[in-house]
Structure 1
């Protein structure tokens, strides 16, 4: 029960052992589904404890290399995740789709599971760009999961060829809270995917509020996509969105330049630094675009 996006077979070396795979002769997911997996996905802690005490391996895998920990994270069951980790579950095990338990926790939006995994040594960046935890969190609008990853060292501008950056993904899926968090955390507003910037994709989505937010954070109105078009050329003629983009063309005001420069100096520490600066609240609000 893993995310089907970006599926790619895993190249494995060596044999597959019975203690890790419930039925090595069967390749369909249903046939090698175990009671342990079922208990994990449904959050049945007592069943998990009983099965493991009876000798069921905590790292039992399906033919798609899905572990009980993967399923507990996908279900967002923090108590089960904690127990499985205590019993020796592999925190960074990857499925054939390269999905790790951390990826699944970010998919489900369970901040508690994300914290448990990171506290037990999970790699915040993920093992493969095909299944990036911070990208799936941004796509699904799970701001708290995304913030937790950033606080544990995930790269804010991690640029995946077929996805873009987390900011691009958040804009593409119109996840406003994630966009705000990323921008206020120092994300590069102009990093593009195949020459298409976050401003381009926000304009194509006709999202005036998002376009305005990107412009306030220094989005380049002159950036051209693969077709050689600027964002304003993607807006509807005589629309409020076109008028907004035209208003931001040309030199920025001194006020806006100051805000952008201060934000650049604060960089990745902005989420905690602005609130702790010894400056008037009015200036804090100004720096946070409030």
Structure 2
């Protein structure tokens, strides 16, 4: 397995000050999570295509971010709203934008399990490699059992054997969370095989897998 490849842990997300299209929204009088949302965020998270189009036509920027650096594209992908994500990307949304929690739109698409959003983002240049190991798209997809998302990421160069110190590999997470179909799909890779850690992850779980991995 490829032990230490991938993102970083502990550093801050890259700043967005250099982008003239990015606007930071914040209301210092309000402490709640949604107080710094824009109408564009609201339309994106709820999949309101017509509202989103109208807002953009009125001049609302698509790269507005909240105090936590959440963009409308993040929200559209979290909701699995393909049409909204497509509209935002066509109008210049930043495909690899990173939130304060290191979440990218691709990570959010893997949370929602939207293969369509994952494919759309990858087609627009989204990186399958995480900026930080705190938010790895392929690990999140495996943990939640989103097989199609894992397949799409792997087809675009995502490392299915990437080992994260505090998580393990995608296969480990699939086994630990009893995502049988996802674990079987990962085991079909000639690089994937059971290790003592994986056996421990499956211990006590009702997982019956036929392992045909290679031990090189």
Same fold (TM over 0.5): yes
**Match of 2:3?**
none
Contact kept? 1:163, 1:169, Cα under 8 Å: yes
Query: Please, what TM-score do these two structures have when normalized by structure 2?
Result: 0.87
Write the distance in 2 (CA, Å) between the matches of 1:12 and 1:206. 40
* Matched ranges for 1:221-260 at <5 A: 260=214
- 2:193 is the counterpart of 1:198: no
Q: Does structure 2 retain, via aligned residues, the 8 Å contact 1:69–1:101? A: yes
SS at match of 2:187: helix
CA contact (8 A) 1:28 1:63 kept: no
CA change 1:84–1:13 in 2 (3 A) is closer
CA contact (8 A) 2:63 2:93 kept: yes
Shift of 1:127: 1.4
For 1:14 and 1:40, the matched residues in 2 are separated by 21
Correspondence for 1:10 among 12, 20, 24: 12
What is the aligned partner in structure 2 of residue 23 from structure 1?
Answer: 26
SS at match of 1:124: coil
1:36 paired residue number: 40
Equivalents in 1 of 2:16, 2:73: separation in Å? 23
CA RMSD of aligned residues (A): 2.5
Shift of 1:29: 2.2
Query: 1: distance between equivalents of 2:70 and 2:16?
Result: 18
Q: Deviations over 1:115-172 (max 9, x none)?
A: 0000000001221111000000000010000000000000110011111000000000
The answer for unaligned runs of 5 or more in structure 1 is 1-6, 219-259, 265-290
Structure 1 CA distance for aligned equivalents of residues 180 and 16 of structure 2: 46
Length-normalised TM-score, structure 1: 0.65
Structure 2 residue 182 is matched with structure 1 residue 178: yes
- Looking at structure 1, the residues matched to 34 and 115 of structure 2 have their Cα atoms a distance apart, in angstroms, of 29
Cα deviation for residue 185 of structure 1 reads: 1.9
Distance across 1 between alignment mates of 2:77 and 2:175: 26
Question: Tell me, what secondary structure is at the counterpart of 1:185?
Answer: coil
Q: 1:138-149, aligned counterparts within 5 Å? A: 138-149=142-153
Match of 1:82 among 82, 86, 94: 86
Residue 175 to residue 33, structure 1, CA distance change in 2 (3 Å): same
Higher helix proportion = 1
Larger Rg: 1
User: How many residue pairs align between the two structures?
Assistant: 206
Q: Separation in 1 of the partners of 2:46 and 2:185? A: 32
Determine which of 160, 164, 167 is the counterpart of 1:160. Answer: 164
Q: Which runs of 5+ in 2 are unaligned?
A: 1-8
